Chain A
Amino acid sequence: MHTLKLLSAFFKVNVQMALAYRADTVVNILLNLMWLGWELLSLNIIFSNTTSLGGWGIGELIALLGVFRLVNTMMIALIWPNTEKFNQSIRDGSMDYTILQPANSMFLVTFSRMTIWRIWDLVLAIVLIVVGINISGDTTTSLNILTFILLTVSGAIIIYSLWIVLISLTFWFTKFDNNVTILQALLDAGRYPATVYPVWLRIIVTFVIPIAVATTVPLQALRGDLDAVRILMFIAIGIASFLVASRVWKAGLKRYSGASS
């Protein structure tokens, strides 16, 4: 209950900020539409030369683009601005204030900045998923939809946990403000099914920087391609990675306060 109140307080502050930069918001929405246009055009170009990519048709790829955009929105609306704020707060010392606030510091670090207008991007992503699945003609049961949602959330949590670990490293290696670029760099690989990549790249995007777990895997679940064991495994990985990440964060804070040295 209190968490929701806090979240809405952060939300209000960020709406204020978005309003302070109205014109930029409009320009960014236009740019976002431009890139969406480009992404659809590139899919069109691919599928004017083939009927399937990694076993999937254009409908599935449009849906995959939707799932990719869900993750990408989390990156751009939440992770990037908060990384910037986090690095800034380490540099100028205002991290001290965050630690001394009577609320979960990991929560504060995650939600203090939000790029509000990106919410419409989420709507757009869901539209892409629905339209894509319709084009593909795949039949989806409500159980498939449920596992899809669960695996999308779990995939997002895995990426988020990786981010927490990456920024926590700043507590040990102060000169590490490039921490998140590596996430964003490989994120682009999520636009296409992981099955098209050469083995070494597939291993990276599945195990090292698990972009595919947050994009390809949920869509496989939506199509009913995954068995129960794997579904449970991916959900378990999601929960485990969150637990590990909060541990690392706490250890980082201890390091910051000099408790471990």
Chain B
Amino acid sequence: MFLIFQRLWQVNWAEQWQYRANLIMYLLYWLVSPIIYLAVWTSIASSKGDVNGFTVNDFVTYYMVLLIADQITSNIVIFTMGYKIQDGTLSGELIRPIHPMLTNALVNNIAFKALTITGLIPVWIVLFFLFKPDFSTVTLTGILLSIPVMICAFFINYLISASITSIAFWTTRVYSINEFYWALILLFSGQFVPLSLMPKVIQEIAQYLPFQLLMYFPIQVILGNLSRPQIIQGYVMAGIWLLLALALFNWVWRNGVRRFSAVGA
């Protein structure tokens, strides 16, 4: 089993390396909006002193960590697998004795991540000198505690995205559905602004949804802003959502493949 992943890694890394020019563009595209939000909120905070207790430095550190957390927990599975289901090339992968979504596509995503994170490092260092954040509240414990959560959040997000991708077995409008999913992330993950500055209603709902695990929760863990019970609560949520996401994916995938073979696409 390990050998399979090793081989898949070699192939997918080589493939992603071929597309490194595209990758730089993707990175640029994806960097811009956090930096804009950062600029907007620091400008407000500096004119007023603070925003509901958030100082300029709080915003800078928040978005600087967000750049990393977002990169770790996001995925591109819909773009790599969606069209394969639609044009039927998936059948070639279905007859192989490994799960297309949980092995090849997964490793492909991880290879993609490895490259984008490598590309992010120099950018992050430049931003560090531009904004000069004060990371004094960050502890090693905080960083160590955030890692399992981010890995867990990556898998939750990956499984949900894979489930949405699998809707392509039924309809061609899967990309529109995915856009809707992105809007949910934007609303409930803390991507636009730290969740505690969002309207109360959204905060209440966000507590029970998996999206805050992608960004807001791990960022706060790293920045040392959470109490022990809050961290435990987050871990429990992550565990529950991972199981739910796994169940959802299994169900959608099984029915999708059944439909795929019945239609004979």
Contact = CB atoms under 8 A, between A and B. Distances in A.
Given A46-B44, A181-B28, A197-B39, A188 B179 contact: no
Nearest to B193: A45
Main secondary structure of the interface of B (DSSP, over half): helix
A73 B43 CA distance: 28
Chain A CB count within 10 A is highest, among B25, B48, B131, for B25
Interface residues of A, number: 33
Contacts of B40: 46, 53, 192, 196
B133 to A, nearest CB: 13
A31 B177 CA distance: 9
Interface stretch (B99-107, B117-125, B180-188, B219-227): B180-188
Interface in A34-52: 34-35, 38, 42, 45-46, 48-50, 52
Given A34-B180, A45-B199, A186-B32, A50 B51 contact: yes
A182 interface: yes
A38 B183 CA distance: 8
B52 A38 contact: no
B201 to A, nearest CB: 11
Contact of A50 (B36, B47, B131, B198): B47
A201 B39 contact: yes
Contact of A35 (B22, B44, B173, B183): B183
Main secondary structure of the interface of A (DSSP, over half): helix
A45 B192 contact: yes
B180 A53 contact: no
Given A31-B176, A45-B193, A198 B48 contact: no
B29 interface: yes
Contacts of A200: 130
Contact of B51 (A49, A181, A192): A49
A14 to B, nearest CB: 20
A21 to B, nearest CB: 10
Contact of A53 (B21, B36, B43, B199): B43
Contacts of A201: 35, 39
Interface string B3-37: 00000000000000000011001101100110110
Contacts of B35: 201
A34 B192 CA distance: 16
B144 interface: no
A184 B33 CA distance: 11
A185 B176 contact: no
A38 B173 contact: no
Contacts of B33: 188
Contacts of B265: none
A10 B48 CA distance: 52
A31 B173 contact: no
Nearest to B35: A201
A198 B39 contact: yes
Interface string B112-149: 00000000000000000011000000000000000000
Interface in B166-183: 173, 176, 179-180, 183
Contacts of A189: 32, 36
B98 interface: no
A28 B39 CA distance: 30
Given A38-B186, A201-B39, A49 B179 contact: no
A27 to B, nearest CB: 5
Contacts of B176: 24, 27-28, 31
A188 B48 contact: no
A34 B36 contact: no
Instruction: Give 5 nearest A-B pairs by CB, closest first.
Output: A196-B43, A185-B29, A181-B25, A50-B44, A178-B25
9 contacts: A31-B180, A34-B183, A50-B47, A181-B26, A181-B29, A191-B36, A192-B39, A196-B40, A201-B35
Given A50-B48, A189-B36, 12 more contacts: A27-B176, A31-B180, A34-B180, A38-B183, A49-B197, A52-B47, A178-B22, A181-B25, A182-B28, A192-B40, A196-B43, A198-B131
Interface of A: 23-24, 27-28, 31, 34-35, 38, 42, 45-46, 48-50, 52-54, 175, 178, 181-182, 184-186, 188-189, 191-192, 196-198, 200-201
